[in-house]
Structure 1
Amino acid sequence: MKKAIGTTQTHETCLTAEQAKHPKEDFFTGADKSCRYEHFNWGDGKIDMKLVCARPDATQTMQMTGTYEPNSYQMAMSVASKGSSPMETMNMKMTVDAKRVGDCEGSKG
């Protein structure tokens, strides 16, 4: 974990134009059914979400706030993970800077 502090990770995800304009709640959770949003607000250039993932061994709470434009978004994220003992408790803060890098491979738009 200490090695990850101050590092940058890069990921690419292919979205259709419609998905980028109106992301659905599963954009951040994928198929994980153990997660639910307390609120999911993505509109008028602002992002405000709170996601709770309750698993048998731990509960994670993620709060995400930020702004977006047609080709990018920026978010501050905080993640609190609580297990059954103090040793299984973790808090993280990170920033996300996302930008459009081009069309999906094989797509026309």
Structure 2
Amino acid sequence: MRFVLVGATALALAACGDYPGAYEETEAGPPAGDVRIEPGLYRMQITIGGGPDGSGMQYADENQCLAEEDVSGGYREMLLDLQGRDSCRFETYDLADGQLDAVMVCAGDAFQPETRARIAGTVTPEATDLRMTVAGFEEGGKGVDMRVTSERIGDCDGQDA
């Protein structure tokens, strides 16, 4: 459930060595094939059980300031930072022409089993529209389906909104 609560926005065992989809970061910013989000104030919305038309239960609707240090490593690195590098890694991460198709795996603990989430949708420097499907938490469990959107709405005023 940790993945659901942190949302997207809507994510590492990367330090342990290479894994499928691994790539090298450059000092100049995100690696080739990733998107660098523009710093600024973003409106982020999470809908649980969201259908293609966006229907579902609204889980979150808030504004968040993304500073330069939050976005400088690219979208992939930002997701890993948000989810926790100690517990999550990307099994796959393919971003081409603004279309993301990824699988994130987060380690379990005493309170929650390992979770596996498929992330698909669009990512641009100023907006995202992603569908995240987290596998069932119990044998035969239905899992959680959510839609996570974000849109840059302006500059930060020096603090989180």
Taking structure 1 as the reference length, the TM-score comes to 0.70
Q: For each residue in 1:4-30, what CA deviation from the matched residue of structure 2 results, as whole angstroms up to 9, or x when unmatched?
A: 662212133322468279324342552
Structure 1 residue ranges without an equivalent (≥5): none
SS at match of 1:27: helix
Structure having greater relative contact order (Cα 8 Å, sep ≥ 6): 2
Residue in 2 that maps onto 1:65: 120
Residue in 1 that maps onto 2:57: 7
Sequence identity percentage: 28
CA 1:17–1:104 in structure 2 vs 1: closer, same or farther (change >3 Å)?
Answer: same
Q: When you count strand as a share of all residues, which structure comes out higher?
A: 1
Number of positions where the alignment pairs a residue of Structure 1 with one of Structure 2: 101
Letter matched to residue 15 of structure 1: L
Q: For each residue in 1:57-81, what CA deviation from the matched residue of structure 2 results, as whole angstroms up to 9, or x when unmatched?
A: 4010111000123321111110014
- Give the 4+ runs in structure 1 shifted more than 3 A: none
The answer to whether the aligner puts 1:48 opposite 2:98 as a matched pair is no
Letter matched to residue 71 of structure 1: E
- Which stretch has the larger CA shift, 56-65 or 24-33? 24-33
Structure 2 residue ranges without an equivalent (≥5): 1-47, 50-55
Taking structure 2 as the reference length, the TM-score comes to 0.51
Note the 1:1-109 alignment, pairs <5 A. Answer: 6-8=56-58, 9-16=60-67, 19=71, 22-30=74-82, 31-57=84-110, 58-83=113-138, 86=139, 89-106=141-158
CA 1:90–1:29 in structure 2 vs 1: closer, same or farther (change >3 Å)?
Answer: farther
